[in-house]
């Protein structure tokens, strides 16, 4: 896994059966982002972010827990 994360690929996908999928996705640069403290416009460079999509078993278990508490 460590070797995969050091590669320069823009998208990396790690799938764990019955658990979920971790995916590294690129973000776009934001040339006109705003600093909320100073209200100053700042440039945010492109980067990579981690996205997690839970598997069916996890989603169903969380849904059961959620509906039990209502």
Strand, helix or coil for residue 36: coil
- What's the CA gap between 66 and 11, in Å, rounded? 32
* Contact indicator for 20, 54 with CB cutoff of 8 Å: yes
Give residue 5's pLDDT band: very low, low, confident or very high (50, 70, 90): low
How many angstroms separate the Cα of 43 from the Cα of each of 23, 27, 35, 47?
Answer: 25, 13, 10, 12
Decide: 11 and 26 in contact? Cβ < 8 Å. yes
pLDDT in tens, 18-67: 899 999 888 999 999 999 999 999 999 999 899 999 999 988 988 887 77
Task: Give the chain's domains with CATH numbers.
Answer: 2-69 (4.10.520.10)
How high is the pLDDT of residue 70?
55
- What is the DSSP code (8-state) at residue 28? -
């Amino acid at each position: 896994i460590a070797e995969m994360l050091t590669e320069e690929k823009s998208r990396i996908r790690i799938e764990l059966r019955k658990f979920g999928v971790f995916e590294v996705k690129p973000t776009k640069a934001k040339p006109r982002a705003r600093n909320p403290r100073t209200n100053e416009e700042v440039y945010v460079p492109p980067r990579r972010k981690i996205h997690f999509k839970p598997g069916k078993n996890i989603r169903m278990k969380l849904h059961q827990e959620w509906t039990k508490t209502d």
